[in-house]
Structures are given as C-alpha cells and as structure tokens.
Amino acid sequence: MQDSSDPKTPETSAQDDAESRSVPPTLHDVEAPAPKEKLSFVDWDGPDDPKNPRNWTFRHRWAATAVVSLFTFMSPLASSMVAPALPQISRELNLEQGSVLEAMTLSVFVLAYAVGPLFFGPLSEIYGRRIILQGSNLFFLAFNIACSRAQTSSQLLAFRFLAGLGGSAPLAIGGGTISDLWAPEERGMAMSLYSLAPLTGPAIGPVAGAWIAEKTSWRWVFYSTSIADGVIQLVGLWYLTETYAPTILAVKARALRKSTGDETICTAHEQKRAGVSTWKFIANALLRSIKFLLFDPVMTVMATYMAVMYGTMYLQLTTFASLWTRRYGESVGIAGLNYLFMGAGFTLGAQLGARALDRIYRHLKERNNGVPTPEMRLPLLAIGSFMLPAGLLLYGWTAEYRVFWLVPDIGVFIYCTGIIASFLCIQTYIVDTYGLHAASAVAAVSSFRSIAGFAFPLFSEKMFTALGIDLKIARKNDELTDRTGTPKFIARSVSSGELLDPDDYGSENASLPSPDEIRDYVHRMHTTEYQHEIPPTPDSTAQPEAKFTHQLFHDAESTFWVIVWTLVRSTSGDREKKPHTKQFSDFYHTMCRHYPQPGEEDDRASIFRKSPKFWTSLLHPDLESMALMLRGMFTYVWPEWGRSQTLDPEHVHEALMRLLLVEIIKLDSNDIVLHIGARSIPPIPFFMLA
C-alpha cells in the first residue's frame, strides 16, 4: 500500500527519467486525503506489461516515432517552402518586394510556433498525445489548403498563422512522445530522428519550392504540401497509437470501474486532477512553462542558446537564396540545390550525433556506478558549439569573396552538422530532466526559440545594411573588384530566366536592335565627346548645370540603353498584343541617331518624366514589378546630363552596373556577351537602392 501523497506515485515511477520502473501490483489500496476512503490506483501489469509503450515491439515503437517525426517535418517544410515563391506572391497580392509584410508572409508561420506549444503541451497531458497530434494536424491541413486559395495578403497572413498554429503541436508534444516510447539509454537514435525533422524541413522546403514555383505557380506550393500531409495523416491513423502513460492507464481504470462498479478505482493522475478544471490545469501548465524559463537557470541558459541558434539559422536562410541567384548568378532552381548541403549536414549530424550521444551516455553511466544523470547528455554540446561558428565563418568569408561555390557550401554543411548536434544534446537533456513534464518543458523551449526564428529575419536587412552589406547588391563584378578590365553582361528574360534569343529582334510590329547594333552604338557613344544643356524637369529639386560634357569612355549611358534593350527584348513572344513595342523601338533608334548640340534639350530627357504607371503599361506582366525600379534607374542617369549635383557622374556607371546585375542580367562565360566599354581607373563603387 502506498499513500497517495507520496511523490513517487506509480505513474511517476512508470515514466521515471532515470529508469523505466513499474510497481508490480495492479491495484494499490491507499488512504485518500479527501474524502477519507480507500482508493485503488491502477498501474501496469508488471514490468513487462505489453500495454506499456516502452514494452511495445521495436517495430511498433519506431513506427510511432517515424509518424511523429513526419508530422514534425511537414510543418517546418511548409514554413520555408514558400520562400522561393515570395516574388510571385508579392506580385499577385500587391505586396511591396522586400517589405516587412513580405517577410512576415514567411515568418508569421514561425510566430505561431511561439503560441501553440504553450497550449498543446498541457492539452496533451489532459487528453493524451494521439488526439492532440492528429487533431492539430487536421487543423494545419485545413488552413494550409486555405493559404492556396487566398486572394489578398491579409487572408494569406491570417491563414499562414493559423496553419502554423496547428503545425506547432508536434514541436511541443514530440519530445514527450519520444520520452514515452524509449528508455533513456536507447533514446538517442529516436531523438535524433525527431530533432532532425524541424531542421531538415527548412533546408529541403526551398529546394522543392523553387522548382514548383518556377514550373507551376505559388499556389501549388501549398497544394503539394497539403497532399503530402494528407498522406501522412492517413498513415498516422493506423500506426500512431496513444503513448502517454496516464492516458493509457485512465482508459484501463475506466474499463475496470465499468466492469466492477467500483468507483474508487482511479489513476494517480486522475486523483491529482480531481476537482481541477481543464482551464485551470492549462493555466497551471502554462505557468509551469514560464517558471521553467524564468526561474530555472539551466533551462534559461539552454533555451536562450537554442533560440540564438534557431534565429541565426533563419537569419542565414533569408540571405541564402539571394546569395546564389545574385552573387553567384545561378537560376532559382539550381540555387535551390545548395539547400541540399544544409540537409546533408543535418542528416549526418543527426546520425553521428545520436550514436555518439548514446555511447557517451552509457559510458558515463557505467563510470557513475550505473546511476544516470541528465548532464551525461551534454559533453557532445561542446563539439557542436565549436562547429557552429566555425562553419558560419567559412561560409560568410568565402561567400563575400565569391570563392568557388563548393567552399561556402562546405561551411554550411559544417554549420548545420554543429547545430543539429547541439539541438540533440539540449533536447535530450531537457526530456531527461523534466520527466512527465517533458512536454511542457519542450514547449517552453520551442516557444522561446520560435520567437527568435520569427524576429531575426525581420531585422536582417537593417542589420546587414548597418554592417555595410547590402542584401540587394548582386555579386561584385571582378572588373569592379580589381578595377581593371571590361564589364561583360548577358541579357536574359526576367520572367523565365532563359537566355534571350539573339536572332529574335522583335515582333511583327517593330524591329529591335541586334547585339551588333548595340555594340556599334556603345562604341560610337564611348568615342564621342559633346556638350549640351538640360532644362530643369517639373519634379527637379536640384539646380541643373548649364552645360555638361559627355566624357570619353564613360559608359553610364550605354549601360542605361542596354537596360532598355533588355526590357524590350524580354517582352518579345510573350504577349498576344504588343501595342507599345514599336514605341520602344522608335525611341531607341531615335536615341541612336540623336547627337545633342549646345543649347538643345536632349530628347532622352523626356523619358525621365514618365511615371511608374507608364512603365507598367509597357512592360510584360511578369515584369510589372520592375516599374518602380526602372523609374529609379533613370534617376541615376540624370547626373549624366546634369540634373542633380548630389551624385558624382563618375559613380553612375557603378550604380547602374549593380542595378543591372541585381534585377536583369546574369553572367555566364558560355553565353553571348555585350562589351560595354572600359574604365582604366574606376572609383570605389557604391550602390543606392532605387
């Protein structure tokens, strides 16, 4: 007989973190404090009870572990898979590219991770793991489908948050489920699979999302994840059974009360909750999670370190795609393949880390006379904590100098191996430490790190700008870096990313210039010196210069006309009606023939008076988002004719070159190139956003 006030109740001992123990008798007669009558506590039928999740077959336990890990994988996958499709979403839903709202479309999903676990953890301790996992996954599935049908940005943000709310449950409950299924000395491999899921999801998601968005539309990003999650839901209905000991024993107790009519039969968990409402229980559990974070120094340190790692990972993810597309000139689909190095690092780190974690744990347990402690999980953390900054340093340094693409990918691989090893140590340490309350403890850590995952990307652009790194600058051209040589550009279609056909010079309505004509014009303009006057424009705030001398070999003008030529070429073949193509062609040829004389207004000045709406009406629908950028480009060229004295004309070439690299042109040594002049001693380049 055991008093009900004894802290070592049967259920506590059944899921003890040090060892999986059980109390032999099925029923225990105890004196209940109130009312004063004997209660019969239900426990396992001996240490080998097949209903105890830790006594399930090896195959059954791994099946349940795999289902929980798949649930945990799908949610982060859906959170990041939308990243490559953000430009499409912004165009269709009228979001400003690069804005905070656009960033929130991605990160609001992670914000929900900070809220959901605080409620799902306690709810799993009331109703069990299975019903919460499957119910929340249905909630995620419903709103992920709703995202695919969103018609406004507000709808998409709301649906993304609600989908993230449902998808956060596995992050909160999964660790507790692993604790239910596996004894501490064999928990490492199972925990590695579970910990791998939320990290490989953000790595694999953009790879698949890039190809889906490129070949279909952004809505299919949501359709595809919904289909995959629906399949996993069906698998879970068959393979995922209840794992939480108090819930299993409560079912047993209800069956015994029904069959015997004895209302004194109960579980220790039911006796503890007697007279406590569900909301009060949730409130107590919520406070328990907060207390873990605020008043347990070890938990505070571990949660903070995990939050920094998680936030840094999402911070790096915000720049990862643009690094390959803009700095290394790769297409969206090919750039997505670099995420495989992240996935490889996570996978290898999880496999090796899990084996090392269990081996170290068993070794230290033997040295401690067979007595395990949670701190035996931490030695591997020292190695992971070293690999993380080392990999980031290699990645950042080599990417800055545009070293061969494999080297920064190796840095990412090292960094991801270190982060998964560190996650493994912290997760298993927390599960081992908090036992039956592991779900609440993991929920507290998950919420704290999710806040970092949401917040870090929002300030990333300002942080990098303050550090002197502009995320919207394309790769540094070798000629600019070395200050020698001739810049080379290749014209590509902005909408498709394909190399423009050099033999396709226009449509049936107009003839566009060929590459040879462009080169001739560039050469002629570079070897001609002239002066002209420019009157002020209606929106001019600076006093124009009375005269301006076009400088020999100054190629800001030619760069500008290559921009126009590229935009005109990119409209070819994609529209049924091309009423404005001839305007472009006539305008271009007029500029080719025109040489301003002193005292005359350059005809090119008229183009600067055009508004973004004018350019929107001319551009191909896929290029309409470039209207504001194009208007800004023309502002850069004004110093060429003396509109503004705020910019040194010598710098215009570098500014335009960077804009060209960012928005329109990609370099490929195997493609046709346009030679656009040369500068023997270029100044230090700078860049101003349009």
DSSP string, 332-398: HHHHHTTHHHHHHHHHHHHHHHHHHHHHHHHHHHHHTTT---GGGG-HHHHHHHHHHHHHHHHHHHH
Residue 130 Cα to chain centre, angstroms: 28
Residue-level pLDDT at 682: 28
Residue closest to 21 by CA, chosen among 242, 176, 191, 245: 245
- Return the bridge partners of 548, or none: 532
DSSP H/E element including 653 = helix 649-663
Residue 354 backbone phi and psi in degrees, to 5: -65, -45
Integer Cα distance of 74 and 167 in angstroms: 8
Which pLDDT band holds residue 663 (cuts at 50, 70, 90)? very low
pLDDT at 661 over 60: no
Contacts within 8 Å (CB) and 24+ apart, 608-614: 608/537, 608/634, 608/635, 608/637, 608/638, 608/643, 609/537, 609/538, 610/634
| Residue bearing tokens 């107790």 | 253
Which pLDDT band holds residue 610 (cuts at 50, 70, 90)? low
DSSP H/E element including 239 = helix 219-239
pLDDT, mean of residues 647-651? 41
Write the CB contacts of 397 (distance below 8 Å, at least 6 apart in sequence).
Answer: none
Contact (Cβ atoms closer than 8 angstroms) between residue 314 and residue 192: no
Residue-level pLDDT at 262: 82
Integer Cα distance of 479 and 555 in angstroms: 14
- Return the bridge partners of 89, or none: none
| Residue bearing tokens 């001019």 | 540
- Return the bridge partners of 531, or none: 549
| Local structure of residue 73 (DSSP, 8 states) | H
Which pLDDT band holds residue 630 (cuts at 50, 70, 90)? low
According to the 3-state scheme, what is the secondary structure of 539-592?
A: CCCCCCCCCEECCCCCCHHHHHHHHHHHHHHHCCCCCCCCCCHHHHHHHHHHHH
pLDDT, mean of residues 388-406? 88
- Kindly state which CATH superfamily the domain 57-240+275-467 is placed in: MFS general substrate transporter like domains (1.20.1250.20)
The single-letter code of the amino acid at 458 is L
pLDDT at 560 over 70: no
pLDDT, mean of residues 64-86? 88
Write the CB contacts of 479 (distance below 8 Å, at least 6 apart in sequence).
Answer: 485, 486, 487, 682
In terms of pLDDT, which residue wins out, 331 or 53?
Answer: 53
Residue-level pLDDT at 625: 53
pLDDT, mean of residues 382-408? 88
DSSP H/E element including 205 = helix 187-215
Write the CB contacts of 176 (distance below 8 Å, at least 6 apart in sequence).
Answer: 121, 124, 129, 244, 431, 438, 439, 442
Cβ atoms within 10 Å of 553's Cβ, excluding its own: 13
Q: What is the mean pLDDT of the chain?
A: 69
Integer Cα distance of 50 and 595 in angstroms: 92
| Residue bearing tokens 């195959």 | 59
* Per-residue pLDDT reduced to its tens digit, 504-557: 433 333 344 454 554 555 455 555 554 444 444 444 444 444 344 444 444 445
Six token digits for residue 421: 């090893």
Which pLDDT band holds residue 107 (cuts at 50, 70, 90)? confident
Percent of the chain with pLDDT over 70: 60
- How is the chain split into domains, by residue range? 57-240+275-467, 474-492+549-559+581-591+602-670
Q: Is 68 left (phi over 0), alpha (psi -120 to 50) or beta?
A: alpha
The CA-based dihedral angle spanning residues 534, 535, 538, 539, taken in that order and rounded to the nearest 10 degrees: 50
Residue-level pLDDT at 628: 57
Residue-level pLDDT at 60: 92
Please give the model's pTM, rounded to 2 decimal places: 0.58
* Per-residue pLDDT reduced to its tens digit, 289-314: 788 888 888 888 989 999 999 888 87
Residue closest to 131 by CA, chosen among 157, 169, 94: 169
Within the chain, what is the greatest distance between any pair of CA atoms? 110
Integer Cα distance of 157 and 150 in angstroms: 9
Residue closest to 134 by CA, chosen among 125, 124, 126, 143: 124
Integer Cα distance of 553 and 336 in angstroms: 39
Angle at 508 between CA 506 and CA 514, to 5 degrees: 25
* Per-residue pLDDT reduced to its tens digit, 447-506: 888 888 888 877 776 777 677 665 543 333 332 222 222 223 333 333 333 443 434 433
Residue-level pLDDT at 340: 84
Integer Cα distance of 578 and 573 in angstroms: 9
Residue-level pLDDT at 67: 93
Residue-level pLDDT at 591: 45
The single-letter code of the amino acid at 563 is I
pLDDT, mean of residues 98-110? 79
Integer Cα distance of 661 and 629 in angstroms: 13
In terms of pLDDT, which residue wins out, 334 or 688?
Answer: 334
C-alpha distance from residue 512 to each of 349, 502, 566, 587, 641 (Å): 55, 11, 10, 10, 25
Residue closest to 352 by CA, chosen among 384, 378, 390: 384
